[in-house]
Amino acid sequence: MKYRVTHTTKYTYSENVTLCHNIAHLLPRITPNQSCQLSQLLIDPLPANVNEWSDLFGNRRASFSIQMPHKELSVTAISEVEVFSSTLPPGETSIGWEQAVEYINTTSDPDIIDNRLYVLESDFTDFIMDVVSYSKPSFRKDRPLLDAVENLMHRIHQDFKYDPGFSTIATPLKEVLKHKKGVCQDFAHLAITCLRMQGLAARYVSGYLETIPPQGKEKLVGADASHAWFSVYVPHLGWVDFDPTNAKIPKEQHITVAWGRDYADVAPLKGIIFGGGKKNRLDVSVDVERIKT
């Protein structure tokens, strides 16, 4: 499936910003299931410089600075991406989850050894005992890995309420677990923590999801949003994505932008500004449209 994604972030400040330095993770990476024909950043006002490089996780990272005074900053990423569908073998035929842990810890394959960075605790994945007790039911002895993770994904989808008003970026995992509420980001972090505490490699994926309007209704431009899900490393198979927010294994509707240990590694846009006053406004619009081929 081919898409054109337009992601606009707009900041409005009450006072002039005299200087800002920013980092963006907005340009989609190329993956085994995804190609990217075109991608560009449109920044207004014109930045003094834009630099792009590949970060430790292989993402396309861009930095830019604006040196003229401004009260409005708009960053638009336009990308054309093709996502290919892949088929997974049946979950029950995969390697047992304990064997997967064993494999990751004993392999001599450099790339797989490197994946062990995705087993470690990180800023947004607090290793707390509550997480272990939550994940226990999904990790029965000798259960096939894909089966176990799919079960975990379904349980999160069932047990947790999607509630954009409940959590913020700073809400700790403990609170999310306690109140059983959150957004896609929280669910991804929860699942990742469950997997890592079992000794598995799991990573955070940031991207977009094509939304399909209800039958007979026109799709609204800009109604989409950025999305997040997780991926688990399955020996001999590679990384497999899961979307706990929608209880789906991503196929052709998930567009990957970047991945990392957690949100902090791949925040779409972050930066430091000088000035800007006390009041500022943030507007985001995302539009995922299919391109006819």
Partner 1 sequence: MHDGGIRSHWHYLMEALDGMGSAELQHRREEAWRLIRENDGTYNIYGDPGGMGRPWKLDLVPLLIESKEWQTIEAGLMQRAELLNLVLEDFYGPRHLVRNGILPPELLYSHPGFLYPCANIPMPGSRALTFYAADLVRDTDGQINVLSDRTQAPSGTGYALENRLVISRVLPSLFRDSHTHRLANFFRTTRNTLNTLSPREGEEPNIVLLSPGPANETYFEHAYLANYLGYTLVEGEDLTVRDNRVWLSTLEGLRPVDVIMRRMDDSYCDPVELRDDSYLGVPGLTNVARMGNVSIANPLGSGILENPALLAFLPTLSKYFLGEDLRIPSLQTWWCGIPAQREHVLANLHRLVIKPVHPGIGFRVHFGAELSRQQLDELKQSISARPHLYVGQESVSMSTVPVLDKTGLRPRHSVLRGFLIAGESDYMVMPGGLTRVSSSEDTLMVSNQAGGISKDTWVLATEPEKHISLLSERRQARLAPDRGGEVPGRVADNMFWVGRYAERAEFSSRLLRLALQFLETGEGAGSTAFKQLLIAVTNQTTTYPGFTALTDTDNVEMLEAELLTVISNQQKAGSLSQTLSALLRSARSVRDRLSSDTWRVINDIDKELRSLSDISQDRIVDALDELDNLITALTAFTGLTLENMVRGRSWSFLDTGRRIERALQIIRLTKSTVATVTSGEDETLLSDSMLTIVDSLMTYRRRYRYGVKIPQLLDLVLCDENNPRSLAYQFSRLEEHIAALPHKEESDIQSELVRVAQEAASLVRLADVNRLSVPNKESNRRDTLDNFLDILAVRLPALADSLTVTYFHTTKAPHQLVQLRSRSTT
Query: Which residues here bind partner 1, judged by CB under 8 A?
Result: 9, 11, 18-23, 48-49, 51, 53-56, 63, 65, 67, 108, 110-111, 113-114, 116-117, 120-121, 127, 162, 164, 167-169, 183-185, 206, 208-209, 211-212, 224-228, 245-246, 263, 265, 267-276, 280, 282, 284, 286
Nearer to partner 1 among residue 6 and residue 211 (C-beta): 211
CA 199 distance to own-chain centroid: 21
Closer residue to partner 1, CB minimum distance, 234 or 258: 258
Nearer of residues 25 and 143 to partner 1, judged by Cβ: 25
The DSSP bridge pattern shows strands 2-27 and 269-275 to be antiparallel
CB closer to partner 1 out of 53 and 217: 53
Residue carrying the six token digits 């989409």:
224
Q: Is the preceding peptide bond at 47 cis, omega within 30 degrees of 0?
A: no
CB 189 within 8 A of CB 171: no
- CA–CA gap between residue 208 and residue 83 (Å, rounded): 12
- Gap between the Cα atoms of 89 and 83, Å rounded: 19
Consecutive H or E run containing 193? helix 184-197
Instruction: Map tokens 């959590």 to a residue.
Output: 167
CB of 212 to partner 1, least distance (A): 7
For residue 68, the minimal CB distance to partner 1 (Å) is 11
CB closer to partner 1 out of 150 and 265: 265
Q: How far is the CB of 130 from partner 1 (least distance, A)?
A: 14
For the bound state, the minimum distance from the C-beta of residue 89 to partner 1, rounded and expressed in Å, comes to 26
* Least Cβ distance, residue 274 to partner 1 (angstroms): 5
Q: If you write DSSP's letter for every residue of 217-238 in order, what string do you get? A: PPPPTTBB-EEEEEEEEETTTE
